[in-house]
Amino acid sequence: MQAWIEAFLAELQNKNFSPLTVRAYRTTLREFAQFCTARKLSKENALTPAQLRTFLANVQLSDPKRNTVLRKIATLRSFVGYLLRKGHLTKNPFKLLPSPKKEKLLPKFLSEPETDRLIDTAAHSKHFAQRNAALFELMYSSGLRRSEVTGLKVRDVDFFNGLVKVLGKGRKERLVPVTQTALQALKDYLATRKNPQPGEALFLNKNGTPLTGDGLAYLFKNTAISSNLARRVTPHSLRHTFATHLLGHGCDLRSLQEMLGHQSLSTTQVYTHVSLEQLKNVYNQAHPKSKE
């Protein structure tokens, strides 16, 4: 079983799946391998509808969130698909397993005043203030994913045209606009570094090595606490905030899809939710009785 898992993960890496995705797949498959070992199941009888149902029931007991279960089902489906292609399995055990529907959750985002407070706190950090200001300004300016921002090189920022070249999911490149405020913050940050080279990482940690995804998450957590925001803030929160604010100010869905790097427009449509304040404004302007 372990050999199959490692071969499957190696195939994902060869297909340029993101390190975060591979890590998530590895975690789920390790859990499944431990489940099989605890029940002394062999690789021949582990992948049956009954055993998969038992494993998923255990997952649901430890984490009842529907989307967590769905992610683990998707991982096991991909693994089973790999085994079927390689001839290690002859029957698909998922044929007899119904999948629960995905839970539709609205993205969590910050209001404009909260966003200003978060970025201002980052810009006044006790350490690395210029880097933090540039980092938060860029992420809010361009809606970058965690892996995208940590993967940026100095050469990826086009200061003349106001664009940043991003390597997104599936190793697909895209160009995203950058605000003048973010560009200036980046210039100020790069001016603090000794002769930064085009091929160097755009954002460095305290050791002078590239900022990692975990380091970025830690920075966001501490900055949110210092900002006295009464909510959990992650790098993805700022991406949601970017998308929500653009739509709220009149950006069309198709343009937003391009900037976010979504393959399908349906993925972008989750941001068509509006805040209560926006809803009230539209109502007050549109309803005849509200004007009386």
pLDDT in tens, 126-139: 999 999 999 999 99
Q: What is the mean pLDDT of residues 38-50?
A: 77
pLDDT in tens, 176-208: 999 999 999 999 999 999 999 999 999 999 999
| Residues designated as active site | 145, 169, 236, 239, 262, 271
Does any domain span residue 104? Answer: no
**86 φ, ψ (degrees, to nearest 5):** -85, -5
Does any domain span residue 214? Answer: yes
How far the first Cα of the chain sits from its last, in Å, is 71
**Are residues 151 and 57 located together in one domain of the fold?**
no
Q: Give the separation between CA 256 and CA 259, rounded to whole angstroms.
A: 5
Task: Give how many domains the chain has, as a whole number.
Answer: 2
Does any domain span residue 103? Answer: no
**Are residues 120 and 252 located together in one domain of the fold?**
yes
Query: pTM here?
Result: 0.67
**Are residues 84 and 117 located together in one domain of the fold?**
no
| Residue that is written with structure tokens 């998922």 in the block | 94
**Are residues 65 and 185 located together in one domain of the fold?**
no
Q: The domain spanning residue 79 has which CATH number?
A: 1.10.150.130
Average pLDDT, the chain: 86
Contact 178, 163 (CB under 8 A): yes
Amino acid in the structure at residue 201? A
Can you give the residue range of the structural domain that contains 89? 2-96
**Are residues 182 and 152 located together in one domain of the fold?**
yes
Q: Of 41, 65, 96, which residue constitutes the final position of a domain?
A: 96
pLDDT of amino acid 104 = 59
CA dihedral of residues 177, 258, 251, 140 (deg, nearest 10): -50
In which band, very low, low, confident or very high, does the pLDDT at 141 lie, cut at 50, 70 and 90? very high
Q: Give the separation between CA 210 and CA 206, rounded to whole angstroms.
A: 9
| Weakest-pLDDT range from 64-68, 84-88, 99-103, 120-124 | 99-103
Does any domain span residue 139? Answer: yes
In which band, very low, low, confident or very high, does the pLDDT at 102 lie, cut at 50, 70 and 90? low
Q: Give the closest residue to 190 by CA, choosing from 148, 217, 159.
A: 159
